[in-house]
Amino acid sequence: MTDWPSLPFLALLLPLLGGTVILLARPLGLRLQRVLGLLLILGLLFVSVDLLEVAFEQGHRVYALGNWDAPYGIVLVLDPLSAMMVSLTSVLALAALWYAMASSIDRQGAHFHVLFQIQLFGLNGAFLTGDVFNLFVFFEVLLLASYGLLLHGGGRLRTRGGLHYVVINLIGSTLFLFAVGALYGILGTLNIADMAQAVAELPASDLAPVAAAGLLLLVVFAIKAAFFPLYLWLPGAYANTSAPVAALFAIMTKVGVYAIIQVHGTVFGPEAGELAFFHQPFVLTAGLIGLGMAAFGVLAARGLKNQVAYLVLASVATLLVGVGLNTPQALGATLYYLIHSTLIAAALFLLADILAKGRGPFADRFESAPPMPNAVWLGGFFLFGAVAMTGMPPLSGFMGKVFILDAALAHDWAAWVLGMVLVSSLLMIVAMARSGSLLFYNTQETVPTLGQPLNAKALVSVTGLFVISLGMVVFAGPILGMTQAIADSVYDVGPYLDQVLNAPTQDAQWLKGGH
């Protein structure tokens, strides 16, 4: 299986065709749709593990769509970073889908499973593409699926959050086209590798417009990733949607971060001459300010889901700080933190939904409510999640933050980075301790419980994600070694350009030789 040349393409084909099959299977009942959805995700998991193996053994791997060589054809590029993101997406999707089935959220409206698969198609496409305009198209695919998922189930607040989300993302799409158009007008290409070469040979008179277009592209990714001034849509959208969708959307902000690492890291990478890494100070500043704002949001939240949404913002801001530090060591630590924060944020969204169901009409609001069923167990889960998310020892959040801070020591802004990360962590610990005591201790003991009994099947998803977090602590050394290797490959742009542009694609050889 590992020497199958169209392996990167399989990660796109599986959810796209699978989603279509699920759509056609709708008259045969939800049970069949569920089985198909689960099988597809398991298949995707299998493919993504294979992708990871191939990417680490053979480095970059190029698949030319329609067998047209780059830069004229559109290519899919498999590198260690994209393989890692695809694997992370499939793990997250498995947990979210299992929760949706166990708590019957997929029953609340039509086409949940179809949209879910199309969402995965868009995500994997955005991770694997090697062409900026193709990235735009995959962004639109994943956004359109996400609009449907976000509004799944309906409700007044959900519609309001959804409307804001849709409008801001449509503005983002328009800006994306402006940026792509401007870059094409000057560089004359849209293939990421080819653009990197064009930027390296740019005459001095064209530097300013390319820099402006690059920053416009940064704004687009900033909207997706919810950077400091552009994050206001996120809490309303994430806090009001259904739990499995919010859990899956934990990866959506990371798509923006990934795009900055991949597109800006390659086009404005170490070989870009005057423009090398010119965007990084902006990223670092936005990350630092955003971290502070997110910490205040966590303190001010009046419900647990809203609080978790602000925690997602804080984790994105921490990632941006790590990216902005601009060293391979910092990027390795950031990618470790990216895996951790995505999985734990998803687990917390799911847990918040379980808690809200246990509290009946009081839902997730920080008010005195009758005690929930199995409060001791759920309290233990909440403690685990809070400790992991805020970055207290001994869980994976602590490891991630220590690695990032360690990498920050050499930077000029070390004092600012250390101060901001540590103070915001303290604020978040205080806020989470307060919400834990409000949810579990401040109860109306005399009133019988109003909530639903614990849904043990749904809790399996949360448990699974927490176990991965524990695994990330036990195997912190090997995992950090892996993310470090990925970071080194991102900073070593040469092989990427070489594979995409110079080597005739392996598939072409395979097709000509074998058939």
Partner 1 sequence: MEILIAFVIGAMTASGVFLTLRGRTFPVVLGLTLLAYAVNVFLFAMGRLTVGLPAVIDPTQGGYADPLPQALVLTAIVIAFGMTAFLIVLALKARSEMGNDHVDGLHLSEDEASLKDTLPPKSRKATRKARQAHKQEARP
| Interacting residues toward partner 1 by CB under 8 A | 133, 137, 140, 144, 147, 151, 154-156, 159-160, 162-164, 166-167, 170-171, 173-174, 177-178, 180-182, 184-185, 190
Give me 268's structure tokens. Answer: 């404005």
> For partner 1, which is the closer residue by CB, 150 or 225?
150
**Nearest approach, Cβ of 147 to partner 1 (angstroms)?**
7
Say which residue the tokens 């189930």 belong to: 153
**Nearest approach, Cβ of 160 to partner 1 (angstroms)?**
5
> For partner 1, which is the closer residue by CB, 79 or 131?
131
> For partner 1, which is the closer residue by CB, 71 or 290?
71
> For partner 1, which is the closer residue by CB, 154 or 281?
154
DSSP letter for each residue of 176-243: HHHHHHHHHHHH---BHHHHHHHHHT--GGGHHHHHHHHHHHHHHHHHHHT-GGG-THHHHHHHHS-H
> For partner 1, which is the closer residue by CB, 164 or 365?
164
**Nearest approach, Cβ of 32 to partner 1 (angstroms)?**
28
**Nearest approach, Cβ of 338 to partner 1 (angstroms)?**
29
Rounded-to-integer distance, Cα 112 and Cα 122, Å: 15
**Nearest approach, Cβ of 187 to partner 1 (angstroms)?**
10
Rounded-to-integer distance, Cα 252 and Cα 230, Å: 15
**Nearest approach, Cβ of 501 to partner 1 (angstroms)?**
18
Are 487 and 335 in contact by the 8 Å Cβ rule? The answer is yes
Give me 502's structure tokens. Answer: 């110079």
Exposed / middle / buried, residue 157 (Cβ in 10 Å: 0-12, 13-18, 19+): exposed
Helices (H), 374-475: 375-390, 396-408, 414-440, 456-474
**Nearest approach, Cβ of 12 to partner 1 (angstroms)?**
17
> For partner 1, which is the closer residue by CB, 64 or 343?
64
> For partner 1, which is the closer residue by CB, 169 or 262?
169
Are 234 and 254 in contact by the 8 Å Cβ rule? The answer is no
Rounded-to-integer distance, Cα 67 and Cα 85, Å: 25
In this structure, the strands spanning 61-64 and 75-78 are antiparallel
